[in-house]
Structure 1
Amino acid sequence: MSLNLARLRALQQQAGRSETAAPRAAAPVALPATRDEPAATNNAALVQAATPGAAGTDSAGAAAAAANARSDADCIFGPDGLAPAPARTQRPDLDALRRMIALRERKPTPASGPPAPRAADARGDARESGRSAAALARRGERASAADPARSVRALPADRSLPGEEIAPGLHLIQAHLPLPGPREALPLDFAKRREDRLDPRRLLFFDTETTGLAGGTGTRAFMIGAADWYDDPQRGDGLRIRQLMISTLSAETAMLREFARWLTAETVLSSYNGRCYDAPLLNTRYRLARIANPLAGLDHVDLLFPTRRLYRGVWENCKLATMERELLRIVREDDLPGSQAPAAWLHFLRGGSSALLRRVAAHNHQDVVTLAQLMLRLVQAQAQADAALLES
C-alpha cells in the first residue's frame, strides 16, 4: 500500500509543532504486523487515524499517532521516502529459473523439423542432390588420380596366395617347365670331384626365403623352393618346380615335414651358398621342431665355389643374379630382391597385401630354375677348360 509523500511530510511537520507546544502523551504502540497482515497496512491505519477530521480523535492522540507514523514511515520508507536496501531485495523465483534451464536443455524433436517439401520442391531437391552427387564423384575421381596411394588405401587388401593350401597355413605351388634333363650322367669335375658321375634325376636344387639374413635360432624359413628333372606322365620330361610357403608361424612344422617327404637317401642337394646358409638354417629348424633331420648325411653340391674359381674377376661379383645375367643371359622383369623378402613376409603377417609375397614366390621360382641351368653351364665350361688345357 503506497502513501502520498507530500501528505506524509505535512503530517511530519504538524507533529513537530505539536511536540513543541505540549508535552508528548503516551503514544500508542503499533501492533506488530502479523503473517497475514503486513506492517505497511498497520502503519497506514495509524496514519489515517491521525489525520484531521477523523472521528474519535483529539490533538494529543493525533500528535502521538503522527509521531508513530513518522517513526514507522522512517523504518519502512527511509528518510528520503525510498525503500531501504533490504526491502528492495527480492527472493529469486526458483521455479522460473528451473523453467528457464529446462527450456535451454530441451532438444529439438523430429516433429519440430522443417515441414515436408511439396512435390515440385521434392523433384527440384532430387535434381539438385543428383548434381551434387555427380560433382562429388568427379572430385573423388580427380583426387584419386592426383593421389594414387589414397585410392589404393581405400580398397581392401588382397590377401590371396598362389598355389594350393595343403595344410592350415601351408601353401604348395607347383609348376612344370619344358626343360628336359640330360640323358647321361653329369661329371662333377667342376666341383673338384674328378671321379664322380652323377645321375641328374637324383639332383634336387633348393633355395629358401627366410625371415632374416643374420641366421641363428630366431631366423626361420617361410618358403622352400625345389626343382628337379622329372618325367611327368601328362606333361612329359621337364623341370618340376615345387614351392612350400607358410602364411602363419604355426605352419612351419607342417612345411618341414612336407619337405622331408621330397628327400630320399639317394637325393643329392644342390644350392648356391646353401652349404653355409640354407642347410644349417634348416638343420636348426628341424632340431627345434624335434623332427628327424632329413638333410643329415645327404650329398651336397654347392655351385657358389666352382663359380668363383671359374669366373672370379671376369665380372664385378659372383652373385647368382650376376651369373644368370652375364653367363646365362637371363633378364628378370619386376624382380623383388631377396633382401626384401623378410619385410614382404612381415608385411603380410601384419595384415597387409600379399602382392609383395607373390613377388617373393616368383623370385624363388627363378632362383631354383637358374640353379639347374647354371649346373649344366658349369659342366660345359669345365669340359671346355679341360679340352683347352690338353691342346696346350
Structure 2
Amino acid sequence: MEGRAAGGFAPAGLERIAAAEQVAAAPIASSTHRAAPATAPARRADPAAQLRRLLNLRPQAPLRAAPAADRRLEGEEIAPGLYYTEAWTPWPRQDALVLHGIGQGEVERERVLAFDTETTGLAGGTGTRAFMIGAADWHAGGLRLRQLLIATLAAETAMLRTFAGWLGEETVLLSYNGKSYDRPLLSTRYRLARLADPLPACGHIDLLHPMRRRYRTVWPNCRLATAEHELLGVVREDDLPGSQAPAAWLQYLRGGSAATLRRVGDHNAQDLRSLCGLLERLAD
C-alpha cells in the first residue's frame, strides 16, 4: 500500500482524473462563435464504395437486357389466339382406294380426311386438351395439309368450331390409334365446350389395327414410326418426339420461345403424310 495515496489511487491516476475534471469544467463555447473555415470542403463518402472496400469487391458492369424470345408462330391468326396453316404436296394418284383387305371396301379419296392431334398429355381425361389439330385430304390433284394451333386457352372453342367445319356426313376419318385416343379426346372437348360433336357421324379407319394384324409377329412394335420406316422408307431427321410436344406448348404459354413449338408442327405434318402413304400401301 505504500505506492498508493489515501484514496486508493496512485499519484499518476490522480493526475489523470484531475485533468479530466478540468476539461469538463471548461466553459462551453457560445453558439455565436464560428469556427474557422476549412481550407477545402469535406468530401462525402460513398457508402457503396466503402462497402466494396470493406468486402474487397470490384465494381460490377451494368446488367444487359436479355434478348427477346422468339415468339413467331407459323400461319395466319384467323381468330384471337388461333393460328391456321395450309400446305399442298403433289400426289399423283387420285383413283379410289380399294380397302377390302382392311374391311372398308372401296372408298373415294375425296371423302378421306386424315387427322392427328398434339395434346397436353397422354393420360387422357377431362384435364387433357388438344392444342393442335392437323388434317390432310386429297384436294386439287395433291395432298392438302391443314393445321390449327391455339396460342391461348381461350382459343380452344374457335379451334373446335373450325375443325368441325372440315367434316361432313360423307367424311371418312383416317388415324393411327385415333379410335382409342384422338377421337374420344376431341369428343370430350366438344362436350366441355358445349358444342355439337361432329365425329360420331363420320366413318373411321384406324390403321393401327390392320398393322397389328399383319405385322405384330414381324416387327418389334407397331408404332407409327416403325410402320412408316418399314413400309414407306421414311427416316425422320431432327424430329421432335411427340412426348416433348406438351412441354413445348407450355413453354410458349409461359412466355418462352416458339422455336420448339414450330418443330411440333413439322412432326404433326409428317404424321399426316405418313398416314396417307400407309393407307395407299395397305390398299395396294
Please indicate the TM-score interval, normalised by the length of the shorter structure: 0.7 to 0.9
Give matches, 1:220-235, under 5 Å: 220-231=129-140
Shift of 1:93: 6.3
- Contact in 2 for aligned 1:180/1:229 (Cα 8 Å): no
Amino acid aligned to 2:237: E
Q: Deviations over 1:75-112 (max 9, x none)?
A: xxxx99x9675444146769799x99xx778479xxxx
Q: What is the match of residue 89 of structure 1?
A: 24
Counterpart-to-counterpart distance in 2, 1:106 and 1:183: 91
Q: Deviations over 1:150-202 (max 9, x none)?
A: x9x94321110111111111111100000134313x23323234xx3211110
Q: 1:187 aligns with which of 98, 101, 109?
A: 98
Q: 2:110 aligns with which of 201, 207, 212?
A: 201
Counterpart-to-counterpart distance in 1, 2:259 and 2:93: 33
- Contact in 2 for aligned 1:181/1:229 (Cα 8 Å): no
Q: What is the match of residue 269 of structure 1?
A: 173
Q: Deviations over 1:40-64 (max 9, x none)?
A: xxxxxxxxxxxxxxxxxxxxxxxxx
**Larger RCO, structures 1/2 (Cα 8 Å, 6+ apart):** 2
Give matches, 1:75-154, under 5 Å: 86-90=21-25, 106=44, 154=66
Q: What is the match of residue 162 of structure 1?
A: 74
Residues 94 and 278 of structure 1: CA distance in aligned 2, closer, same or farther (over 3 Å): farther
Contiguous gaps of at least 5 residues in structure 2: 1-13, 47-60
- Contact in 1 for aligned 2:212/2:222 (Cα 8 Å): yes
Q: Deviations over 1:305-350 (max 9, x none)?
A: 0011111122211110111112100111210011100000011111
Counterpart-to-counterpart distance in 1, 2:189 and 2:267: 23
What is the identity percentage for the equivalent residue pairs of Structure 1 and Structure 2? 58
Q: What is the match of residue 356 of structure 1?
A: 260
Contiguous gaps of at least 5 residues in structure 1: 1-78, 109-135, 137-150, 232-236, 381-392
Amino acid aligned to 2:265: A
Q: What is the match of residue 289 of structure 1?
A: 193
Residues 94 and 171 of structure 1: CA distance in aligned 2, closer, same or farther (over 3 Å): farther
- Contact in 2 for aligned 1:180/1:239 (Cα 8 Å): no
Count residues in correspondence: 248
- Partner-residue secondary structure (3-state), 1:174: strand
Counterpart-to-counterpart distance in 1, 2:155 and 2:79: 8
- Contact in 2 for aligned 1:181/1:200 (Cα 8 Å): no
Give matches, 1:297-376, under 5 Å: 297-376=201-280
Higher fraction of helix = 1
Amino acid aligned to 2:267: H
User: What TM-score comes out, normalization by structure 2 length?
Assistant: 0.80
Residues 84 and 299 of structure 1: CA distance in aligned 2, closer, same or farther (over 3 Å): closer
Amino acid aligned to 1:352: G
Amino acid aligned to 2:115: F
Which structure is larger by alpha-carbon Rg, 1 or 2? 1
Residues 83 and 344 of structure 1: CA distance in aligned 2, closer, same or farther (over 3 Å): closer
Amino acid aligned to 2:67: L
- Partner-residue secondary structure (3-state), 1:276: helix
Counterpart-to-counterpart distance in 1, 2:23 and 2:82: 90
